[in-house]
Amino acid sequence: MKVVGTQKSQILASRIARELDEELVTTRFSRFPDGEHYLQTGSLDDRTVIVGSLTDSDALIQLLLLIDACQASENILVLPYMGYARQDKQFNPGEPISARAIGRALGAEVSRVITVQVHEPGVLTHFGVPATTLSPVKDVTRFITTAGFSDPLILAPDVGAERFAAAIAREGRWEHDHLIKTRITGEEVRMEPKRLAVEQRTAVIVDDIISTGGTLATASRMLLDQGARAVHAVCVHGIFTGGAYALLINAGIVGVAASDTIESGYSRYSVAADIAQALKEC
């Protein structure tokens, strides 16, 4: 087995290769004068693991080119972060089902797909090949434990994230609860009043994605008003658009952590071990 990654997933690809004790194949990335992408990778004639998070349009093009360049006997696609997964149905006439379009494009030349904490597991059917999603509960639990929080209260920012928070709480033997959220606009949310057992405790809000940060900022203010000693935020996919990090800090959150599915300065823990184990079981 060989491992190769797109330009923005080099670190995670190297960690997966190390966990597997397999070769990491280097790739040269560049652009033509007209802006088109170019890449040249090494020999990929064995069973190949292609690692690439779909963070933007450039990442999508690189991933398509890299899949095409792999002449292996079997190509397995590791898609740590699947962009466009939240458009999983047609909300208004004339809209594409973006998750379906992405799944069809990326699943055409691979034998299997592995994702991490995909927003809606139902989108996996669009790949047309066996596809699974991993939930990094143990990785998040390990991070929270290592951080040394005393008797943390694990919180989901809404009912949709409650299962993830509950699994982390069970793994760490902590209490958990969830908030009740109403979305007003794409960036504005309202938290319904709810008393929580958070006074003089550390609250750790866990979620799959932090994008604009509006939900977590609103939740933090509520928790601090109820007497929380400190509020931390931990997510799987850290997108942090439009000044989200500053928004969170200004809302009183003292620590923000994400995994390395999207590589950035906010990545504090890795999902490489979970991905490597799933690959071993393929």
Which residues make up the CATH 3.40.50.2020 domain(s) of the chain? 2-134, 137-269
Whether residue 271 contacts residue 258, with contact meaning beta carbons closer than 8 Å, is answered with no
Q: Is the pTM of this model over 0.85?
A: yes
Which parts of the chain are beta strand (E)? 2-5, 23-24, 27-31, 37-41, 48-51, 75-79, 112-116, 131-134, 153-156, 175-178, 181-183, 189-191, 202-210, 230-238, 253-259, 267-269
Q: What percent of the residues of the chain are helix, what percent strand, and what percent coil, each to the nearest 5?
A: 35, 30, 40
Paired residues of 153 in beta bridges: 175, 203
Catalytic residue, candidates 2, 89, 138, 181: 181
Whether residue 166 contacts residue 133, with contact meaning beta carbons closer than 8 Å, is answered with no
Q: Give the mean pLDDT per block of 10 residues along the chain (282 residues).
A: 94 97 95 96 86 96 94 91 86 89 93 94 94 96 92 89 94 91 61 75 95 90 92 96 93 96 94 96 88
Confidence (pLDDT) at 189: 61
Confidence (pLDDT) at 159: 83
d(CA 67, CA 65): 5
Confidence (pLDDT) at 100: 94
Handedness of CA 50, 65, 80, 124 (dihedral sign): negative
Confidence (pLDDT) at 86: 81
Considering only the C-alpha atoms of the chain, give the largest distance between any 2 of them, rounded to a whole number of Å. 59
Q: Is 181 annotated as catalytic?
A: yes
d(CA 55, CA 203): 29
Confidence (pLDDT) at 125: 94
Q: Domain spanning 2-134 has what CATH number?
A: 3.40.50.2020
Q: Domain spanning 137-269 has what CATH number?
A: 3.40.50.2020
Which residues have a Cβ under 8 Å from the Cβ of 115 and sit 6 or more positions away? 79, 80, 81, 82, 124, 131, 132, 133, 134
Spell out the SS3 assignment of 153-179. Answer: EEEECCHHHHHHHHHHHHHHCCEEEEC
d(CA 219, CA 154): 13
